[in-house]
Copies of this chain bind each other. A is one copy, B any other.
Amino acid sequence: MALLVIGGNAAGLSAASRARRLDPSLEIIVLEKGPVVSYGACGLPYLVEGRVREPQQLIVYTPEFFRKERNIQVRTGAKVVSVSHPKREVALESGERVRYDRLVVSTGARCDSMGIAGTSLPHVFTLHTLAHAERMRTFIRDQKPKRAVIVGAGYIGVEAADALRRHGLQVTILEQSKNVLLRSDDLIVSTVRKTLETHHVELRTGVAVKSIEADNVAGVPCEMVVISAGFRPNVEIAAEAGVELGRTGAIRTDEYMETNLRGVYTAGDCAEVTHLVTGRPTYIPLGTSANKAGRVAGANATGARERFPGIVGTSIVGIFGMAFATTGLSMEQAKAEGLSPVSARIEAQARPRYFQGKKTTVELVADRVTRRLLGGTVIGEEGAAGRIDVIATALHSKMRVDEFEQLDLAYSPPFATVWDPVLIAAQQLVKEI
């Protein structure tokens, strides 16, 4: 029996490792098109920033580790160009063919240039792989650019803005839509904008970039451009092999992370997962769910029958010392799902003043009919991760706001206030619902 995994990062290596633990005799091969595997992609902005000093610091495991410690064969520079499921084999760019019995497709995603002209100019970057981050770092060091334009106000876009500011660059973010961090709600958009402005990053929304010139983008002068838009799942090879895509454009799966082709599993940035709040497939490509779904895909590829229940859409981003965390649905997303959302927003001390506690903002959304919690946002300089995780845990449990209001959360002055901000928000929501 041979398990073949396409893609050597979060989802693929989680799948391979889990499969090995459950089946010591399985032949396991991981094919990675790039030169390295198992790197923390979420750490790339910090490599550009300089906080991460060497690319090696972001590499968790090497191919040697997988061979020696886990008896997993990891091949880098092995680009799969097609899959023939009837023959149970894949073809590599080199012409080589590799057989499989079970296949895990974890081909990830890419930054698409979206038809923008000029993306191959030498001062234009994406920030999707370790090589990209290294190239950007070298460029900043050698060319000493003074001004940068970032295309796209998603996670990577704002993190890159932070990193470039720390190198002293003047930074402008151009975003095609009205969204920031993939959200259109006023709370996120206005607070991110304010934080960026405080740190002298200009954010212009509603600006469609058509082309990149040698010295400007859409009239904004710059010596450097970062494209952090057009994130697209790499589904082409799978789709050509007959793997069904979902409505999101990513690979459709069942709860066992199996595709429509028996024996072909998928996980990570190329795959859909179930959104536990809506109950429907969603495409939210993040490392956390890539790892979890990857483990399940790997287990089931060995013949196990594990379920990946899904996600609630939790994310957090930190820029200039401020955290922006969201989980579940925004008001707008909830309305689009046909729900009757009500929200409440409060600002409160994250800790007592005598512990230099900072203000934190919490917004909660619940459904007026079922009183079920639907989502939340936490913004602040401290404690945002823990608080969004409490809301996320409640979403997993389909908790009603009335139960949430009574949560027995930890309190002691160095850590919190006696009424935690999330509970104050819940009280407010109960009044308004």
| Chain A residues within CB distance 8 Å of chain B | 10, 40, 42-43, 46, 51-53, 57, 155, 276, 286-289, 291-292, 308-318, 323, 325, 327, 352-355, 383-390, 392-394, 396-397, 399, 403, 406-416, 418-420
How near does chain B come to A427, taking the closest CB pair, in angstroms? 9
Distance between Cα atoms of A394 and B413 in the complex (Å): 23
Select from chain B the residue with minimum beta-carbon distance to A321.
B414
A288-B411 contact in complex given A308-B406, A393-B394, A394-B393, C-beta closer than 8 Å: yes
Look across to chain B and name the residue whose beta carbon is closest to the beta carbon of A54.
Answer: B354
Across the interface, which residues of B come within 8 angstroms of A311, CB to CB? 408
In the complex, the answer to whether B308 meets A42 with C-beta atoms within 8 Å is no
B393 touches A316 (CB 8 A): no
Point out the residues of chain B lying under 8 angstroms from A355, CB to CB.
Answer: 46, 51
| A354 close to B52 (CB less than 8 A) | yes
Give 20 new A-B contacts, CB below 8 A, not counting A289-B408, A389-B407, A396-B407. Answer: A42-B412, A286-B411, A288-B411, A291-B419, A310-B408, A311-B408, A312-B408, A316-B411, A318-B412, A327-B408, A383-B386, A385-B416, A386-B389, A389-B390, A389-B420, A393-B393, A393-B394, A396-B403, A396-B408, A397-B399
Most chain B CB within a 10 A radius of its CB, from A308, A316, A386, A408:
A408
Tell me, rounded to whole Å, the shortest Cβ–Cβ distance linking A400 to chain B.
11
A354-B46, A383-B386 given; A317·B412 CB < 8 A: yes
* Contact (Cβ within 8 A) A46 B323: no
Are B313 and A354 touching (Cβ within 8 A)? no
**Which of B46, B313, B403 lies in contact with A408, CB distance below 8 A?**
B313
Q: Which residues from B are CB-within-8-Å of A10?
A: 418
User: How long is the Cα–Cα vector from A327 to B409 in the complex, in angstroms?
Assistant: 9
Q: List residues of chain B with CB within 8 A of the CB of A308.
A: 406
Contacts of A393 in B (CB 8 A): 390, 393-394, 397, 399, 407, 409
Q: Is the CB of A415 within 8 A of B318?
A: yes
Name which residue of chain B comes closest to A398, CB basis. Answer: B397
Chain B residues lying within 8 Å of A276, measured Cβ to Cβ, are 408
Name 10 A/B residue pairs within 8 A (Cβ), A-sorted: A42-B418, A288-B408, A310-B408, A318-B415, A323-B414, A327-B408, A384-B415, A386-B386, A393-B393, A397-B397
**Residues A410 and B396 in contact, CB atoms below 8 Å apart:** no
Give the complex CA separation of A149 and B10 in angstroms.
53
Give the Cβ gap from A363 to chain B, nearest Cβ, in Å. 15
CB proximity of A393 to chain B, nearest CB, Å: 4
* A353 CA to B57 CA, complexed, in Å: 9
Look across to chain B and name the residue whose beta carbon is closest to the beta carbon of A419.
Answer: B291
Shortest Cβ distance from A354 into B: residue: B52
Hey, which chain B residues are within 8 Å of A46, CB to CB? 354-355, 413
Known: A291-B419, A355-B51, A403-B396. A314 touches B389 (CB 8 A): no
Report yes or no: A287 in contact with B411, Cβ–Cβ below 8 A.
yes
When C-beta atoms are compared, the residue in chain B nearest to A352 turns out to be B43
Instruction: Give Cα A315 to B291, complex, Å.
Output: 31
Residues on B with C-beta less than 8 A from A394 are 393, 397
Our pick among B42, B386, B414 for the contact of A318 (Cβ within 8 Å) is B414
Known A384-B415, A387-B386; contact A410-B316, beta-carbon cutoff 8 A = yes
Q: Which B residues touch A418, using CB under 8 A?
A: 10, 40, 42, 287-288, 291
Complex: A387 Cα to B392 Cα, angstroms? 12
Q: Do A415 and B287 have beta carbons less than 8 Å apart?
A: no
Least Cβ distance of A40 to chain B in Å? Answer: 7
| Contact among B289, B396, B413 with A40 in the assembled complex (CB-CB below 8 Å) | B413
From B43, B314, B385, contact of A354 by CB (8 A): B43
- Which residues of B sit under 8 angstroms from A352, Cβ to Cβ? 40, 43
B314 touches A408 (CB 8 A): yes
Q: Which one of A308, A383, A390 has the greatest number of beta carbons of chain B within 10 Å?
A: A390
State whether A385 and B415 are in contact (beta carbons under 8 Å apart), knowing that A354-B51, A392-B409 are contacts in the complex: yes
Contact, CB under 8 Å: B408 / A385: no
A386 to B391, CA, bound (A): 11
